[in-house]
Amino acid sequence: MSVKIAKKNNGVKRGLAASIIDKIGLPTLIIAAFFAAVMITAVVLKQSIPVLISDILRRFGMNGVLVLAMVPAIRSGTGPNFALPVGIICGLLAWTIGIEMGLTGIKLVLVVALMATVFAVIAGYLYGRLLNAVKGAEMAIATYTGFSIVGFMALVWLIAPFKSKQMGWMMGSGLRETIKLEGVGAAQIFNKFLSFEVLGITVPTGMLLIFFAFCLLIWLFFRTKTGIAITAGGNNPEFAAASGINIDRNRIIANIISTVLGALGIIIYSQSYGYFQLYSGPLMMAFPAVAGVLIGGATASKANVSHVIIGTFLFQGLLTASAPLANQLFEGSDLSEILRMVLQNGIILYALTQVKGGGK
Amino acid sequence: MKKAKGLLARFNTSYLIDNIVPIIFIGFTLAGFIVAKGLPINFFLSELTSRFYRNAFLVLSLLIPVVAGLGLNFGIVIGAMSGQLAILIVRYLSIDYLHLSGTWELILCFALALPIAAFVGFLTGRLFNKTRGQEMIASLIAGFFANGVYQFLLLFVVGVIIPVRATHPIIKPDGVGVRMTVDMGGLHYALDRIFRVPFMWAVLVVSLLVLALVVVMYLVRRKRGQQGSLVSFIIKVALLAGLACFSLYSIATNSRLMYVRQVPVVTVILIALLCVFNELIMKTKLGQDFRSVGQSQHIAAANGINVDRTRVIAVVISTVLAAWGQIAYVQDMGTLNVYGAHSQIGMFSVAALLVGGASVRKATVPQALIGTLLFHSMFIMSPEIGKAVFGNALLGEYFRTFMAYGVIGLALGIYAWNANRKSRITLDPEPVKEANS
Amino acid sequence: MSDILLSFRNIAKEFSGNRVLNNINLDIKKGEIHALIGENGAGKSTLMNILFGMPVIHTTGGFEGSIEIEGEKVQITSPHEAMARGIGMVHQEFMLIPGYTITENIKINRELTNPNPISRIFGKQLETLDMKRMNADARKALDIMGMDIEEYTMVEGLPVGHMQFIEIAREIDKSGVKLLVFDEPTAVLTESETQNLLSVLEKLAATGIGIIFISHRLDEVMQVSHRVTILRDGELVVTKPTEDTNKHEIAELMVGRKVIMERSGSDKRKISDDIILSIRNLEVKMPGEEVKGFNLEVRKGEIVGIGGLAGQGKLGVANGIMGIFPARGEVIFEGRPLELNNPKGALAAGLAFVSEDRKGVGLLLDDSIELNTVFTSMQIHNQFLINLGFAKFMNARRIRRHTQAMINDLDIRCTSSKQKVGSLSGGNQQKVCLARALTQNPKLLLVSEPTRGIDVGAKKLVLDLLKKLNEEQGLTIVMTSSELAELRSICDRIVIVCEGKVEGILPPDASNTEFGLMMSGSRAGSQQGDGIA
């Protein structure tokens, strides 16, 4: 059964490669081919395919919203949101406060989501203001904004007066690096909602529904008056300005949305994981998200919701599938992690070479 | 009159903004000394000088790309990886075949690092030409990318594609891949131990040499009939003489300062040579091309300068210097953390340079040296302050990481903000008409 | 014969089938200041590009004819080679590095160096700079022009006049320079700086250097040049000694057209006496097209043309009114003052603008005809939207229907209304721009360079369309164009802009001489006493 799926995948790719290469883009095709090859190898090496597909679905849903956060930023012309940690931090802060308040279960998650949204709106607004002040160097500055916030929050985690036993160290002050969500009944809370099993594949229905709901919302947003104006401002700022669009304001709106998606994205991500990480945990989280949307066919200036879905599926799928495989081939090694580093940063570099107009 | 005052105020704020980073750091270090009273001065100086010997070379390797308009080259991590590759190859060969002495191993490391770093530097340079205008983020990502390739090479190619002796001490026990940490053996202190002098003796010698230089320069100038400021001359002489006397006193009384780590003279000479190199190359045709390209690629190209080639040369030089700097760094450490030693040097070196007052477009040798000292003072002080003020040394450690990121972010932000402000089109000030009314 | 320095022989050049230069024969003598005159698009720049072997020539199929230097036929394939053959150019935009001293700028990439031990091993690139000799050379070049500024002064902060001279000094300093081209060198200079420059030109010519002097300022041309060549529509009209002509004749020859389209059907229209738009003291900071105090009143229902040479500020007027570049002054539209620097306000008031920068400001090249057509109306007038209270969604069906109607009305050739605008031809792109402007139902339409870069057939269509809109719907139009013939074919009156101000207003049937003189800023009637008549 699964052999067929893999082969079919491969066949489709080859048959149409010539005609769709322009439309889909070379990087996407290469990764897709790679993914297909890994899946075939997995079958040949008798990996448990249902388990693999379950994992892929889970990772897809976990990362989806974080990748989706790239879309508003890219479309508004500020480039991929390399400052995704800003949003993530808002989500983490909300988690810690929620747990500190002693909430559990769905109540906790909803309160956390609400708080995270509020924090992210404020942080996104400030971040948008910052980006407007540094036009032309957004990507580098966004990266270091993200790093700085993570560095600063490490201080906060260490000295913030949290009392909850779920999060503190056995002794001394400060929060733990890894905080489990099982104790507060929030682990896999979305994954388990309406979850079902078919052919041995576990489908995290709730999480996937939430992800697709966000995709739909973002897609709809870019069909509204404001969304269209944001896109136009990103594509051609001069054109938009001549049509009376307040580009700076739109860039702020887009980055608020992106930051909110980052905040909600980390909530979905950590409930699926079962725990969340403080301190340097969020430091590098922007890069896989950026790579995800780029692999789906986006560029530093163009992105669609479809790029998010395709890219997250391919990238996370490839990483998930290659991990057990690499482990089987090279025992006890971290080949999959290295693959992630090379792929993720390779695709970002490729996208940077496609950015036009620098150089004075 | 009012206008002039406004102008002055604006000049002052902009001066403050331009130099905000060094000001913060000087303030921080001073505050650190006041707060952390228990910190023994000899410990501080030993730490600081050690860190200086290790890092100055790397920080100096950043200068040329800045002058050539490429900005802050986070890609020096790629050079550092080349240096480490050279070390690993030399260590492997030396243990099995060559049986060299530490010094020869070191020389071989330097020689081998040159072609490796030049090659990867060439590739990075080409990449930067393709990512024009986004060099800094590209150099950062290129470093991550190269790290992946480097790990793949050392973990999976070594022992699988490249045959190695499975029982070799730097190879993992299963015969595939290089170990996490590799002992430097004879390489440890290979550069440092060639010639060492006690710290205060070094201070004494240097202050006397500089004193002599100052006096000679002053006399020569007088002879030529040029006017030199007598006051500044006297202050200089007094300071240097005071320093010399102080070091003599320390030596005579065997004060605490005598327990500061000894000065590795050859390492210091290499750092000094690199300073001289950076200054001299700017006085050559190549250096002038770097400057021209850095100031305006368009005008440089219009005048027939091969812009792309010049930029690639700048990156190659920077990468090679970084490779050598990393070798000097590792020989001082004694063990090579194969998969971690390089990962943060890009960020820390860039932060150090910025702390010295450099910007994305302008960086000088004194800025690099002062920056290294200031930045690493902060590094040493942070845990101490954390301990003294909050009773938590970990806090200080997180704090210094935050400062490193923050400094870079702040410097990049201020530069971009200023550049945008300057390039904005504004109406000329209202003409005479308004002045009359 | 030996005093002929440079000869163009039968030069012709086509850009994708469009003949922009035809059969040019021209000699430049040693020590001669030869003025080259022509309107925008007459072929001056193309001729100079050929002389300098610019890539834009080779990549478009080269040129016909040949160039001779001192009687020897030469192939110039790169600007570098032109430089090596002793031909220099003083650029209109300054090629100076602000952070460099005068010497460093003069010597850029031609630095004098001394060998040192390291350079002997690693090559010339590492030779030490010889600042002393470089300074001495720079001094010499500055002295030739009588400039007493120190050669080690930083260029940043110098007055523009000085920068122009440093550019010249750089050319003089190049050894063996035989011919210098000056492209509008006085455009940015003050009166006294101009006089200095002209005397430097004379000094240089006296040393035997040949000079090609491109200028639209006829007074300067009369004052300094020995001979004048006039280009028009890619043809060489005449070359004659300056003393045998006068500026009236030059102006006439520069503008003269064989065919002038007549403004027809004008009797059908009514131009009311109502002033729909009045502009007072408009200043606009548009780089390269600055407006410095522009005044105009537009009556309802007329077509007003704004003409003038490139760089004089005619394009700045519309851009300033529409808030695209910073502007100051007073604009009254339909009796109400219009807030400047506010594109939204201008659009909401009922103005529409078709920009001269079609691919930059004018269109979203990667988006569909549909979006390009309705975008502004959607954003400004909230049209083509479905308002659900919490959000306004685009109304895809209405957008489709409207765009389809526009495609039919304006005869836009496309595969569908979803086609990306970037893949349309220039003429059809322009129609999309017009479609967007018309979708806004404007009370006044500002059109800049409507026919730039589109082929002849499309040009006529666009002009006819404008005329039709004016006649049938009474739409008031302000059209800015570099092509005088085009203005004369549809406008009721033509405003000529010179140096950012209105030089004068002419009816479309005024004589060539009048237009020519006015565009050159040396109108017969205006004796301001500047220059030498």
Domain of B310, CATH number, reads 1.10.3470
User: B191: distance to nearest CA of chain A, Å?
Assistant: 34
Task: Look at residue B236 and tell me if it is in a domain.
Answer: yes
* Residue spans per domain, chain C: 1-85+178-186+208-256, 92-176, 266-367+440-519
- Which residue in C has a C-alpha nearest to residue B428's C-alpha? C285
Kindly report the three-state secondary structure assignment for every residue of chain B.
Answer: CHHHHHHHHHHHHHHHHHCHHHHHHHHHHHHHHHHCCCCCHHHHHHHHHHHHHHHHHHHHCCHHHHHCCCCCCCCHHHHHHHHHHHHHHHHHHHHHHHCCCHHHHHHHHHHHHHHHHHHHHHHHHHHHHHCCCCHHHHHHHHHHHHHHHHHHHHHHHECCCECCCCCCCCECCCCCCECCEEECHHHCCCCHHHCEECHHHHHHHHHHHHHHHHHHHHHHHHHHCCCCCHHHHHHHHHHHHHHHHHHHHHHHHCCHHHHCCCEEHHHHHHHHHHHHHHHHHCCEHHHHHHHHHHHCHHHHHHCCCCHHHHHHHHHHHHHHHHHHHHHHHHHHHCEEECCCCCCCHHHHHHHHHHHCCCCCCCCCHHHHHHHHHHHHHHHHHHHHHHHHHHCCHHHHHHHHHHHHHHHHHHHHHHHHHHHHHHHCCCCCCCCHHHHHC
Asked if the C-beta of A199 comes within 8 angstroms of chain B's C-beta atoms, the answer is no
Chain B within 8 Å of A106 (Cβ-Cβ)? no
Residues from chain B that touch A80, judged by Cβ atoms under 8 A, are: none
pLDDT at B133 (0 to 100): 85
| B interface test, pick of A341, A343, A354 with most B CB neighbours within 10 Å | A341
pLDDT digits (tens, 9 = 90+) for C129-159: 999 999 999 998 888 877 888 888 898 888 8
What integer pLDDT is reported at residue C262 of this predicted model?
Answer: 55
Quote the pLDDT of residue C394.
92
Say if the Cβ atoms of C363 and A236 lie within 8 Å: yes
Q: Three-state DSSP class for B340?
A: coil
- CA distances B225 to B15, B221, C360, Å, are 36, 6, 62
Q: Which chain B residues are closer than 8 Å to A360 by Cβ? A: 133, 296-298
Same domain, B132 and B278: yes
Of B137, B144, B415, the CB nearest to A341: B144
Residues B256, B269, single domain; the answer is no
Whether A173 sits inside 8 A of B392 (CB atoms) is yes
Element (H, E) at C235: strand C235-241
Domains of chain A, each with CATH number or no CATH: 39-353 (1.10.3470)
Residues of chain B contacting A353 with CB distance shorter than 8 Å: 127, 130-131
Gyration radius of chain C over CA positions:
26
Whole-number pLDDT of residue A271:
93
Say which residues have a Cβ less than 8 Å from residue A354's Cβ, sequence separation at least 6. A299, A300
B227 and B316 belong to one structural domain:
no
Q: Cβ of B419 and A287 within 8 Å?
A: no
Q: Report d(CA A207, CA A196) in Å as an integer.
A: 12
- Cβ separation of A238 and C361 shorter than 8 Å? yes
CB contact under 8 A, B297 and A141: no
- Say if C392 is an interface residue toward chain A (CB within 8 Å): yes
Mean pLDDT lowest for which of A111-120, C252-261, C341-350? C252-261
Protein fold of C1-85+178-186+208-256 = Rossmann fold (3.40.50)
Write out chain B residues lying below 8 Å of C127, CB-based: 284-285
- Test mutation, A225, A231, A299, chain C, max C CBs within 10 A: A225
- CA separation, residue B378 to residues B63, B386, C39 (Å): 22, 12, 66
Q: What is the DSSP annotation of C303-342?
A: EEEEE--TTSSHHHHHHHHTTSS-EEEEEEETTEEPPSS-
Please report the sign of the dihedral spanned by the C-alpha atoms of residue C417, residue C420, residue C422, residue C423.
negative
Q: Same structural domain for residues B235 and B275?
A: no
Residue A4 pLDDT level (bands cut at 50, 70, 90): very low
Give the Cα separation of B261 and B282 in Å (integer): 34
Say if residues A80 and A71 touch (Cβ distance below 8 Å). Answer: no
Q: State the Cα–Cα distance between residues B293 and B308, nearest whole angstrom.
A: 9
C129 CB neighbours in chain B (<8 A) are 283-285, 287-288
C267 DSSP 8-state letter: G
Q: Best mutation site among C109, C183, C291 for testing chain B: the one with the most B CBs within 10 Å?
A: C109
**B289: chain C residues, CB-CB within 8 Å:** 109, 125
Say whether both B67 and B210 belong to one domain. Answer: no
Contact B134 A139 (CB under 8 A): yes
CB-CB neighbors (< 8 A) of A228 in chain C:
371, 375, 378-379, 394
In 10 A of CB B164, how many CB atoms?
Answer: 18
Nearest to A242 among C343, C365, C394 (CB): C343
Of the residues B227, B261, B295, the one at which a domain ends: B261
pLDDT surpassing 60 at residue C458: yes
Q: What CA–CA distance (Å, rounded) separates C510 from B323?
A: 75
C266-367+440-519 has the same fold as C1-85+178-186+208-256: yes
Residue B3 falls within a domain, yes or no? no
The list of chain B residues with pLDDT below 70 reads 1-14, 227-228, 430-437
Q: Which single residue is written with the structure tokens 């303030």?
A: B27
Is the domain of B124 the same as that of B241?
no
Q: What is the mean pLDDT of residues A305-319?
A: 94
Question: How far apart are the two ends of chain B, measured CA to CA in Å?
Answer: 19
- Please answer yes or no on whether C355 and A232 come within 8 Å at the CB atom: no
pLDDT (tens digit, 9 = 90+) per residue, A164-191?
Answer: 888 887 666 788 889 998 888 888 889 8
C-alpha torsion sign, points B286, B288, B291, B293 = negative
Distance CA C199, CA C165 (A): 12
Strands C336-337 vs C327-333: parallel, antiparallel or unpaired: antiparallel
* The CATH number of the domain covering residues in C266-367+440-519: 3.40.50.300
- C362 in reach of chain A (CB within 8 A): yes
Residue C276 and residue C288: Cα distance in Å, rounded? 28
Interchain contact C403–A (C-beta under 8 A): no
Confidence band, pLDDT 50/70/90 cuts, at residue A7: very low
Q: How far is B279 from chain A (nearest CA, A)?
A: 26
Q: Is B12 within the bounds of a domain? A: no
Domain count, chain B: 2
* Same domain (yes/no): B50, B141: yes
Please report the pLDDT score of residue B372 as a whole number. Answer: 94
Query: In this structure, are B245 and B151 located in the same domain?
Result: no
Given a cut of 70, whether residue A3 has pLDDT beyond it is no
Mean pLDDT of A26-33: 88
Beta pairing partners, B178? B171
Choose, out of A131, A148, A279, the residue to mutate when testing the contact with B (most B CBs < 10 Å): A148
Which A positions 195-254 lie with beta carbon below 8 A of chain C?
220-221, 223-226, 228-229, 232, 235-236, 238-239, 241-246
Under 8 Å CB pairs connecting chains A and B tally to 140
C-beta of residue B358 within 8 angstroms of C-beta of residue B375:
no
Tell me: do B116 and B73 sit in the same domain. yes
The two tokens of residue B193 are 């131990």
Chain B residues close to A341, C-beta within 8 Å: 144-145, 147-148, 151
Q: How far apart are CA A266 and CA A88, in angstroms?
A: 6
Residues B144 and B216 reside in one and the same domain:
no
pLDDT digits 0-9 by tens, A95-138: 999 999 888 889 999 999 999 999 999 999 999 999 999 988 89
Nearest-CA residue of chain A relative to B160? A330
Task: Decide if pLDDT at A359 tops 60.
Answer: no
User: At residue C513, does pLDDT exceed 90?
Assistant: no
Give the side-chain half-sphere CA count within 13 A for B85: 27
Please judge whether A355 and B408 are an interchain contact, meaning their C-beta atoms are less than 8 angstroms apart.
no
Predicted local confidence at residue C266, as pLDDT: 53
Which residue has tokens 């002389």? C51
A223, A235, A239, A304: best mutation site toward chain C, by most C Cβ within 10 Å? A239
CA distance B347 to chain A (A): 10
Average pLDDT, rounded, for chain A = 88
Domain that includes residue B179, residue range? 19-198+262-419
Question: Per the CB < 8 Å rule, is A137 touching B412?
Answer: yes
**Cα-Cα-Cα-Cα dihedral of C437, C439, C441, C445, to 10°?**
10
Model ipTM value: 0.88
Quote the pLDDT of residue C269. 66
User: Do B316 and B388 share a domain, yes or no?
Assistant: yes
Q: Smallest CA–CA separation between A196 and chain B, in Å?
A: 38
- Residue A144 and residue B408: Cβ atoms within 8 Å? yes
- Give strand pairing partners of C446: C353, C478
